[in-house]
A and B are shown apart, each in its own frame.
Chain A
Amino acid sequence: AQSVTQPDIHITVSEGASLELRCNYSYGATPYLFWYVQSPGQGLQLLLKYFSGDTLVQGIKGFEAEFKRSQSSFNLRKPSVHWSDAAEYFCAVGVFSGGYNKLIFGAGTRLAVHP
């Protein structure tokens, strides 16, 4: 069955430090992969997506993610974290069936940023 694992429930980094959030997926076919961010009291905002092609994808707010098929991973990175990046981050895999993409989400990683 398709699934997404985010091993880190909470991560705390200092402002200006680099960040990597881990995501592993289980899916038999070529995956469609996504990272979303949910700020407190907000809905989900799409940070970036991977469908095919270049395995390093750039997103909004200075985020990037790298797809590694051999490791079934799609880790999110940012070289320098800002206090406003404190939020919950969700990795998702899209299961394309019946003409549309059903999203399966990981449990999320809550990011705290220390000044």
Chain B
Amino acid sequence: SAVISQKPSRDICQRGTSLTIQCQVDSQVTMMFWYRQQPGQSLTLIATANQGSEATYESGFVIDKFPISRPNLTFSTLTVSNMSPEDSSIYLCSVTGTGYLEQYFGPGTRLTVT
């Protein structure tokens, strides 16, 4: 499986600011995904990011709040914009395996908004 890294691993941010989270993969992948895990909750898919096309957002998530970039086959960023305490979560990126069925996850970025 691919090795996935995320930066930063954690951050504490002021409300009203924005944070960009980076996801780097050690091999080329077609599909990348961004998830949110709110405190004590399960994972919710934010969007799917394909290289060379606009990200596809799930219901309840909008591009203005969570803009995503996918400049190449090994890298993606998720920005959490105009943050509020409700945005305090772990944000995880994932990539598909070779069969496009299973997903492998990065270590996550723990965000706290004060």
Contacts and interface: CB of A to CB of B under 8 A. Distances in A.
Interface of A: 32, 34, 36, 42-46, 49, 51, 90, 94, 96, 99-103, 105-108
Given A100-B48, A101-B96, A107-B41, A43 B101 contact: no
A94 B108 contact: no
Counting chain B residues whose Cβ lies within 8 A of the other chain, the interface size class is: 20 to 34
Contacts of A42: 107-108
Q: Is the interface of A mostly helix, strand, loop or mixed?
A: strand
B94 to A, nearest CB: 8
Given A44-B105, A102-B45, 17 more contacts: A36-B105, A42-B107, A43-B92, A43-B106, A44-B43, A46-B102, A46-B104, A51-B101, A100-B96, A100-B100, A101-B96, A101-B103, A103-B45, A105-B42, A105-B43, A106-B42, A107-B42
B41 A43 contact: no
B73 interface: no
